[in-house]
Amino acid sequence: MDFKDIKTYEDACKKLGVDPNALPEVSLLPVKDQAPVIAHYKLIKIAEALNNGWQPDWTKSSEYKYFPYFVIKKDKEHPSGFGFSFTSYADWRAFAHVGSRLCFKSSDMALYAGEQFADLYKEYFLINK
């Protein structure tokens, strides 16, 4: 299965053999924090499925680790203020921009994840009022 065949959270769960309805229990959290926690969990499962078993080795400075990068800027094309920009990578000198569970083994995967799952990233990263 090509990583681009994973178009939904449910597709990722199917690949991993995970029940898509078995979400983390968040009822003890404040209501405003529940949706971002669920979105983060879903993004973790999506990253696992896209990476097809690959896990970053943070002891290897020569191993690039990619992640989508977003620009939060409101304009005519992005009235919500959330737009996919480009990918970046972290090497041994980098400071943490994103959790290691959400990095990808290739730039193509990071681009795909950022575009295909932009709504989940938006739910996770932004405070909705």
Number of domains in the chain: 1
Residue 107 lies in a domain: yes
pTM of the predicted structure, to 2 decimals: 0.80
**Does 3 fall in a domain?**
no
Alpha carbons 50 and 58: distance in angstroms, whole number: 19
Q: How far apart are CA 6 and CA 46, in angstroms?
A: 8
Domain extent for 111 = 12-20+30-53+63-125
**What band does 83 get if pLDDT is binned at 50, 70 and 90?**
low
Question: pLDDT class for 79, splitting at 50, 70, 90?
Answer: low
Mean pLDDT of 65-80: 71
Is residue 114 domain-resident? Answer: yes
AA letter at 80: S
Is residue 4 a part of any domain in this protein? Answer: no
Residue 112, in any domain of the structure: yes
Please tell me the predicted confidence (pLDDT) of residue 127.
79
Does residue 1 fall inside a structural domain?
A: no
Diameter over CA atoms, the chain: 43
Domain-embedded: residue 88: yes
Q: Is residue 5 part of a domain?
A: no
